Every structure is written in C-alpha cells, then in structure tokens.
Amino acid sequence: MAVGVKTYRNCIGGEWRDAASGKTFESVSPATGEVLGEFPESGPAEVDQAAAAARDAYAGWRLVPAPKRAEALYRFAQLLVAHKQELAELMTQEMGKVLPEAGGDVQEAIDMTYYMAGEGRRLFGQTTPSELPDKFCLSVRQPIGVCGIITPWNFPIAIPSWKITAALICGNTVVFKPATDTPLLGTRFVELLAEAGLPAGVVNLVHGPGGAVGERLVQHPDVPVLSFTGSREVGTRVAEQAAPRLKHVHLELGGKNGIVVMDDADLDLALEGVVWSAFGTSGQRCTAASRVIVHERVYDAVATRLVAAVERLRLGNGLDPETDVGPVINRGALEKIHSYTEIGLAEGAKLLTGGEVATGGELAKGWYYRPTVFGGVEAGMRIAQEEIFGPTTVLIRVRDLDEAIRVANGIEYGLSSSIFTQDVNRAFRAIRDLEAGITYINAGTTGAEVHLPFGGTKATGNGHREAGQAALDFFTEWKAVYVDYSGRLQRAQIDNQ
C-alpha cells in the first residue's frame, strides 16, 4: 500500500468489512496519477453476504410507510447539499471532469433525491369503475425486493442517485456496485445515506470487478431486479445472464448522438451547443454529440468556426478554473480514443484539429487527449457509427432536412438527438421523426432534467427509463385490487353478458 493512502471497505448489513480475500485495488486520479485510496477486491462471497443483508432488511423496509421512507431521502438530499463542494472536488480528482461539471453532477443527485422523496406522498395508482354493481376497483404499486445497482464512472454521484433513490422510495433494498474507477465516490454516497438514518442493510456496498462482483450480482437468486448503465456489450451479457430467472432488468447503454444544424440555424447558438455537447466531460457521456450533421449551405462556416472554438479550449486538471476539458478516465480509454483517430484517417476522413495524446508538463502525469474534429465524414464510416466515448466529433454534410433525419437515424443507437433551426415546422418534424428517447430543439444533446424520463431506443437500452415517473414503473410491480361488497359471488364477464 502506498504511504499515507487510506483503505476503504465494503458496507454490508450496516458494517464496514474487508474482502475475505484480503486483496485490494487502487483508485487513481486520471489527472495526476495520484493514488486516492485502496478498496476491497471483492468476489461472489461478498455479494452473497450483501444480498442476504438486503433480503433481511427488505422484510422491514417494505412495511415502512412511504412518507417515512421519504424522510430519510430528504435528509440525504440535505447532506448532499452540505457536502456538495467536497463531493465535487473529490469527483474532479477521482473521475477528472472539470469542477463546475462535477458540481452539476452533485446537483443532479440533489434534484433527483428531492424529487423521489416527494414521491413518498404520491406513488400513485389508479381507481376505476367496475363493470359490476357493488364492486370497487383500484391498482397499487408494490415493491419487488432486492435491487442490484451497477453504475458507471462518468456520472458517479448522479447516476447512483437516479437508481438508488427510486428503488428506495418504492420500498426496495439495494446492493450497489460502483465502477472500479470511482469507488471513493461510491463510498461517500453510501456513507451519506447511512448518516441520513437509512436502516442497516437497506443499502449495501460491494466494491470489485465486473467479472467477479457484477456477474454474481446479476445471477444471484435473491436479487430479482437489476439496473445497469454501461456498454452495450456488457449490457447484452447482463440480459442473457438474468434471463433464466426472469429478472426485471433495466439497461442504459450506449449512444452515438447527432446534432442537426440547418441552414436557418442561429450559428452562434449552434456552435455553443456543439462544443458543450461534444467536449463536456471530455466527451465521456452517453449523450455526447459525436456527430454534427450540417446543411451544405452552412457546412463550411460551421467547420471553420467549430475548429476555431475547439482550438481555444484549454486542456488540463479540472481543479484549475482555467481548464475547459479534463482528462479521460484511464489509459485504456486514451488508447481506444486514439485508435478511432487512426480509423478515421484510414477511412479517408479529414482531421481538422486534435487527434493526438496530449503530453508535456503537467499533462504528462495524466490521461489527456486533445479535442478532435473530423470533417468530410461519410455517414457509414466507423467514426460516424461507433461510440468513441471521448473528445471527438465528426462533421457530416447533408442536402436537406430529409437527409439529415436519415443520417441521424442511421445508427444502431437512439439515445439523444438535437436540431438547430428557426423553422417551427422543421422542429416539429424532427420531434416526430428522430429515432431517439430524447430530442432537443435549439439546444445540444445533453442537459436532461430529473422529472422527465431518461433513456433511449434501439441498442441504447431495453425500453425502460430512468428518472421521473417512468423510474417508478421499473422499481415497482402493479397489483390490481377488486373489492366486492355485493354480498354475493359475481363472476365478472360470465355475469355481465
């Protein structure tokens, strides 16, 4: 263990425990290479213990009135507010995004927690007339059980809040596996939940790799609900492994999002939206704008102005207030991003700016890639089809709105979409025809709000949504209730012919 580095533990049944193996792994800052902590390299045994603790806690938690469950979430939200600066700085250190973005990540968790706490006095069902006399019909939501929550590193406070607060307000319990790149933020999240007064065992934390921890969680017989955010490849395996037990599975996977810029667009606004959507979080968002689909009449102007704007972006440590773009998460990500630059050049695309690993000075200590723009890109090229997940975007020229929509839809994903136009008719055609779970008009591809459903179509997921009322549908079962006060047996349709 590095000198002065703190060792952290799993949280199982309210107790902080080491992994039985005694093995650990390190969390390393992508900006500086500094070791931030050591964490238990857990395995199936720890998942089994956590699942048992969550199953035992479920028996009591499901019976706590939802408004009382909400009180714990309100306290948790207040703690997030109190610790917002600390969490944001920690996020910039552990994950790399610039400090204002990290603050936004925490704010999203605050917003989501308050929203879901408010559902403690709603969780609405329906009442409806019966087709028979002296009979009352209603439907109610019921919790399901233990939820396996597997989250990524790019939104290490926001995404756990989307999943965990929704699961808890519905009366479920949780086994939480955060990403191995951001285990310290996962730990702080659970520490604050415990400080908010959540009963022991209601949320359990298990650190470790996806192979040993994630797969056991997916396959565990006492974990009927799974919510996973990550790559399409891993998401497909989650679905396959969960299928034999008919588990409830929510998958939030990749994106290859396009911004359409029409010839009547406000180009100043469009360029601002493209730069923010493509290079915010160093392009490491499932909603990042990795394609810019531009009307031929404004293509040259957009290309020239975009390159100039990108070359003004300052690369560096996200704690520096002068920094616009931070590091990518690790060496593997850096190598993957650069491999796509080489693919784009081999395909015949024109590299307009960037396209290289940033070295020299303080940048040599971390994983930095220069913001990259390709021009002359054909819609079928790999760099226009495959998720790069880094600070790279491509420019695709189109003749009209019809072609723009065909290009935007001509990918396997369907998460976020955007169009810049001042024509209301074009805007509403885009709303109708873009194949995506999210469409923005005169805004970039990022910026979802917590009270609307979040998720995508096609290979982006399996149809479930996070956030808003839609999240409640995933974390509850519907029960239909019939109350017959007629004093006689009524046989529904048989007696209603």
Phi first, then psi, for residue 190 (nearest 5°) are -75, -35
Helix or strand run (H / E) with residue 398: strand 392-398
In the prediction, which pLDDT does 4 show? 79
d(CA 315, CA 306): 17
Q: Which tokens is 24 given?
A: 């650990």
- Give the residue-averaged pLDDT of 470-492: 96
- The answer to whether residue 221 sits within a structural domain is yes
* One-letter amino acid of 49: Q
Report whether pLDDT(105) > 90: yes
Report, as an integer, the average pLDDT of 10-32: 97
Q: Is residue 199 part of a domain?
A: yes
Backbone angles phi, psi at 444, to 5 degrees: -75, -165
The token pair that represents 53 in the structure block: 């603790």
Confidence band for 381, pLDDT divided at 50, 70 and 90: very high
Q: What is the pLDDT of residues 59-93, one digit of tens each?
A: 999 999 999 999 999 999 999 999 999 999 999 99
Q: Give the pLDDT confidence score for residue 497 in this predicted structure.
A: 79
First-to-final CA distance of the chain: 77
In one letter, which amino acid is 257? N
What the block records as the tokens of 317 is 């440590």
- Report the number of distinct structural domains present in the chain: 2
Residue 1 has pLDDT above 60, yes or no: no
In a domain, 448, yes or no: no
Retrieve residue 220's tokens: 């565990």
Please check whether residues 326 and 225 belong to one and the same domain: no
- Residue 3 confidence class, pLDDT cut points 50, 70, 90: low
- 249 plus 261 within the same structural domain: no
> Contact, 436 vs 456, CB < 8 A?
yes
261 & 185 share domain: no
Domain containing residue 180 = 10-253+461-480
- Mean pLDDT value of segment 9-34: 97
274: nearest Cα among 342, 373, 350, 354: 373
> Cβ(185)–Cβ(491) under 8 Å?
no
Closest CA relative to residue 141, chosen from 377, 464, 481: 481
pLDDT in tens, 448-459: 999 999 999 999
Average pLDDT over residues 355-372: 96
Beta-bridge mates of residue 138: 127, 481
Residue 5 in any domain: the answer is: no
The residues near 303 (Cβ < 8 Å, ≥ 6 apart) are 294, 352, 373, 375, 395
Quick one: average pLDDT of 396-423?
98
Instruction: Retrieve residue 194's tokens.
Output: 């415990």
Active site residue 342: no
Q: Which long-range contacts (CB under 8 A, 24 or more apart) does 194-198 make?
A: 194/11, 194/14, 195/79, 196/72, 196/73, 196/75, 196/76, 196/79, 197/72, 197/75, 198/72, 198/76, 198/168
Same domain, 229 and 82: yes
Considering the domain boundaries, does residue 447 fall inside one? no
pLDDT on residue 366: 97
Across the range 357-383, mean pLDDT stands at: 97
CA dist 239 and 167 (Å) reads 19
For the chain, give the mean pLDDT: 97
Residues 306, 237 share a domain: no
Reference 5, options 48, 35, 28; nearest CA is 35
- What average pLDDT does this structure show over 294-318? 98
Q: Using only the alpha carbons of the chain, give its radius of gyration.
A: 24
Residue 180 included in any domain: yes
Residue 391 sits in the same domain as residue 264: yes
The set of residues, in sequence order, having a beta carbon less than 8 Å from that of 490 and lying 6+ positions away, is 132, 135, 484
Would you state the pLDDT for residue 471? 97
Name the percent of the chain lying above pLDDT 90.
98
Residues 246 and 264 in one domain: no
* Distant-in-sequence, close-in-space partners of 10: CB < 8 Å, separation ≥ 6: 16, 17, 18, 19, 40, 42, 46, 50, 204, 205, 206, 207
pLDDT score at 2 = 58
Whether residue 286 lies in the annotated active site = yes
Please identify which of the residues 11, 170, 286, 466 carries the catalytic annotation.
286
Quick one: average pLDDT of 366-392?
Answer: 98
Q: What does DSSP say about strands 10-12 and 15-17: parallel, antiparallel, or unpaired?
A: antiparallel
Q: Are residues 124 and 206 in the same domain?
A: yes
CA–CA separation, 137 and 127 (whole Å): 6
CA 443, CA 263: separation in Å to the nearest integer?
Answer: 16
pLDDT digits (tens, 9 = 90+) for 158-173: 999 999 999 999 999 9
Of 101, 119, 252, 387, which is the active-site residue? 252
Q: Are residues 376 and 435 in the same domain?
A: yes
Amino acid at 310: V
Split at pLDDT 50, 70, 90, the class of 494 is: confident
72 and 163 co-located in one domain: yes
Tell me what the mean pLDDT of segment 457-486 comes to. Answer: 97
145 and 28 co-located in one domain: yes
Q: 24 pLDDT exceeds 80?
A: yes
Judge whether 144 lies within some domain.
Answer: yes
* Mean pLDDT, residues 175-196 taken together: 98
CATH number at residue 300: 3.40.309.10
Average pLDDT over residues 18-43: 97
Residue 409 CA to residue 412 CA, distance in Å, equals 8
Question: Which tens digits make up the pLDDT trace of 212-240?
Answer: 999 999 999 999 999 999 999 999 999 99
Domain with residue 112: its CATH number is 3.40.605.10
Shared domain check, 230 and 140:
yes
In 14-78, which ranges are E strands? 15-17, 24-28, 35-40
Quick one: tokens of 188? 């702080």
Which residues 6+ apart lie within 8 Å of 307 measured at CB?
Answer: 352, 353, 373
- Reduced to 3 states, what is the DSSP secondary structure of residue 451? coil
In a domain, 3, yes or no: no
